[in-house]
Structure 1
């Protein structure tokens, strides 16, 4: 597999500029996020950290996935390898929506394979983007097999939700846009599922000397498991955020990115993900999916370390929180909002 480079992200930026929505940033109130213990070698005056939210859920199709999907198809069009049979993907989530949206923009068919158990609301939304939705089997694995067979027999271009360098490079363009607005950014915080967003953002961040905090739910820890074992392995998926972060296996690209300097891993419990999502609604009226709230939970969760999860050669103990330092500038990526907001409204004050 191609190892992602900063050059890949720069090329993706050129391809997608003008085709996607530039990210909007909004600052949190000063003092909203607690800083960590003071570094004894830091002789600067004490000052609060500064935290921004990257509202990437306002992107086309409601998630960052539109970046990678457009980059994937544009690169193939530029190379003359975009077939008239179009593109196909097995995904009932954000990746499927983004693939269908990008295919429509490029004027080619999109065939999306879902298990027959997929919620009707997802089927309807995919069809609203012009996708040919094929329901098959009862599990994602059944849909994936059917998608692969379809690509082999029709010549359609097979896409992937996260494990492809063009998909990850497209996601990495987000960090470039964030840096344009915060040139002296210290840290970016991203949720990790399969690892496409993390791989792209961490690769760009490494180039600019920026720390990346990779946040996973306790029970969707594909990246953490790969770091422990030294290779991607299948993990059990059982989290409130599994609809968007529930990849059973991370990519090799993500594992390579996580081994870089300036990467810090965090595992957060579902209770803190739910609390962070509710906080975004109560205090900012932002209705995001649990996967997006997972990133913020790293800054709002109580301090705790999972020493039993620490890989023997991994320099950071994966904790359940990240505490910014004195005056640290942090951006938290809210990556998607394809969610049912009714549970937020029911539990809001006054309801």
Structure 2
């Protein structure tokens, strides 16, 4: 298995999954949309107006972008005649398992999904609804992964992966091509990062088109950010409100390689801003996404006291470990990657 993703991999995936996944929908963010009156963190002052779009990938099959990679993985093995009788197995925080189970059911293949016991009940219920054999192991993704590896070694089941596989990452990267076609002149795409499958695929495709990619992680789930600092994938603590979908202990070599290329940037955001971004999406759009999806938006909506002065508003600003500020005239797409969440903890406020 190669660890360097190419644009050719993403292009092949796009052909393989064409007509099998839903095309992404986009929604523009109007000035003043978030945080009410006063300074607008997404659009700045009159001299710093940028164009921000929300990529509504949570409307994808199974409720997240993961359906793209899972469909590419299963279809590629179906085409190669390499789907074993024991089926496919995967360890997941929930979304990758849902996507794998969905794709496997479409192909008439058995799916066994290993989840940490902390996985949201809504994801477990949906997995069983797809006919998957669900096994709850440990409290972190890494423990579920170890159990999955043991299972595939003893049963001969085909091992899929939540993010660290070129077919999975390439499938996720097909999202960028769709966004690029819908937003001519796109400058920047902002994505949340867990293990790095979405980022690796999107960044690879974005670099081909000359588009900047901003990788956003919670401060206490910073596998990619830490790998960049160390120059290699390293284990990190996992402690964030978004850990159910972004709680990978270690990033993939593919993601690290993509992050080390030009036009890729890594930023961190605190849980408080993730929670606020998620609430803003509900208050102003009635969009109920996972904390992991809100993490991407949080990069653009962190308070200005976290942002240093730039020499000119014509240049974007990546705040060391804290957020991203678009430049004047910049066209930005923020990927809302998943919505397999319990909306019960969203405050039901009325906005005018």
TM-score (norm 2): 0.89
Structure 1 residue 118: deviation in Å? Answer: 5.0
Q: Is the 8 A contact 2:164 2:197 kept in 1?
A: yes
Q: Secondary structure at the match of 2:85?
A: coil
Q: Residues 126, 29 of structure 1: CA spacing in aligned structure 2 closer, same or farther, 3 A cutoff?
A: same
Distance 2:206 2:184 in 1: 12
Distance 2:176 2:301 in 1: 22
Kindly report the root-mean-square deviation, in angstroms, between the aligned alpha carbons of the 2 structures: 2.3
Structure 1 residue 318: deviation in Å? Answer: 2.6
Map of 2:210 onto structure 1:
209
Map of 1:311 onto structure 2:
none
Distance 2:347 2:83 in 1: 44
Of stretches 60-69 and 73-82 in structure 1, the one that deviates more from structure 2 is 73-82
Distance 1:349 1:247 in 2: 35
Aligned length: 335
Of residues 322, 330, 333 in structure 1, which corresponds to 2:332? 330
Map of 2:311 onto structure 1:
none
Map of 2:320 onto structure 1:
318
Map of 2:135 onto structure 1:
134
Q: Is the 8 A contact 1:35 1:325 kept in 2?
A: no
Structure 1 segment 93-108 matched on structure 2, within 5 A: 93-108=94-109
Q: Is the 8 A contact 1:212 1:263 kept in 2?
A: yes
Cα deviation 1:125-175 (Å, max 9, x = unaligned): 111001112344565444333322221222210011000111000000000
Map of 2:293 onto structure 1:
292
Q: Is the 8 A contact 1:264 1:318 kept in 2?
A: no
Distance 1:22 1:100 in 2: 20
Q: Secondary structure at the match of 2:220?
A: coil
Q: Secondary structure at the match of 1:19?
A: coil
Q: Is the 8 A contact 1:223 1:255 kept in 2?
A: yes
Map of 1:342 onto structure 2:
344
Q: Residues 143, 324 of structure 1: CA spacing in aligned structure 2 closer, same or farther, 3 A cutoff?
A: closer
Q: Secondary structure at the match of 1:243?
A: helix
Q: Residues 130, 317 of structure 1: CA spacing in aligned structure 2 closer, same or farther, 3 A cutoff?
A: same
TM-score (norm 1): 0.89
Distance 2:301 2:254 in 1: 29
Distance 2:291 2:62 in 1: 16
Unaligned ranges ≥5, structure 1: 39-44, 307-314
Q: Is the 8 A contact 2:118 2:244 kept in 1?
A: no
Q: Residues 291, 137 of structure 1: CA spacing in aligned structure 2 closer, same or farther, 3 A cutoff?
A: closer
Q: Residues 136, 258 of structure 1: CA spacing in aligned structure 2 closer, same or farther, 3 A cutoff?
A: closer
